[in-house]
């Protein structure tokens, strides 16, 4: 007869990962909203780490509101990126990018000054070059997914 671990032991034995959630927001002309974190050398999409027990889509909505002052609904999941453990980070990172729609030209952006130095609406063909090379594929994947209507997995 097979021996099964008690649920608490079985769940404790499973692999885990860190999670982050971001919002793809564009303006009326299709330019991508990027933010410039004061703790990194590269720009990124508005978003951040998913808190313990928080759903990724809700983390996206919370982070977008905190970082740029926009109340947006996290719509379609556009891309998911998996990053291997690296350096001091002992576990993989899964990053979700949700479609947070478009905003009108001149919409007020209120930066979270503790974490961000600036924001910009950037042409989609040049925006990925502003991100760290390891993170740029999540944006290109999200843009592709938005145009093609299918979620993109970014390894």
pTM score of the predicted model: 0.94
Per-residue CA distances from 107 to 3, 40, 68 (Å): 60, 26, 11
For residue range 53-63, what is the model confidence (pLDDT) as tens digits? 999 999 999 99
- The answer to whether residues 142 and 30 touch, using CB atoms and an 8 Å cutoff, is no
pLDDT (0 to 100) of residue 53:
96
All domains of the chain, ordered by start, with CATH? 21-147 (3.90.79.10)
Averaged pLDDT, 84-102: 95
Query: pLDDT-derived band of residue 39, with 50, 70 and 90 as boundaries?
Result: very high
Query: pLDDT-derived band of residue 1, with 50, 70 and 90 as boundaries?
Result: confident
For residue range 110-138, what is the model confidence (pLDDT) as tens digits? 999 999 999 999 999 999 999 999 999 99
Examine the pLDDT at 27 and tell me if it is beyond 80.
yes
Q: Residue 38 carries which DSSP code? A: T
Examine the pLDDT at 2 and tell me if it is beyond 90.
no
pLDDT (0 to 100) of residue 125:
97
Q: Which tokens go with 125?
A: 């063909």
């Amino acid at each position: 007869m097979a021996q099964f671990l008690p649920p608490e032991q079985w769940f404790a034995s499973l692999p885990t990962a860190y999670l982050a959630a971001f919002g793809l927001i564009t303006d009326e002309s299709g330019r991508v909203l990027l933010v410039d974190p004061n703790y990194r050398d590269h720009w990124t999409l508005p978003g951040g780490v998913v808190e313990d027990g928080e759903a990724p889509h809700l983390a996206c909505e919370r982070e977008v509101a905190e970082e740029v002052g926009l109340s947006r609904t996290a719509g379609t999941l556009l891309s998911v990126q998996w990053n291997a453990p690296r350096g001091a980070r002992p576990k993989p990172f899964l990053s979700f990018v949700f479609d947070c729609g478009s905003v009108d030209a001149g919409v007020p952006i209120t930066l979270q000054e503790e974490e961000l130095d600036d924001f910009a609406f950037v042409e989609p063909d040049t925006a990925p070059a502003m991100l760290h090379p390891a993170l740029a594929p999540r944006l290109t994947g999200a843009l592709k997914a938005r145009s093609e209507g299918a979620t993109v997995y970014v390894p």
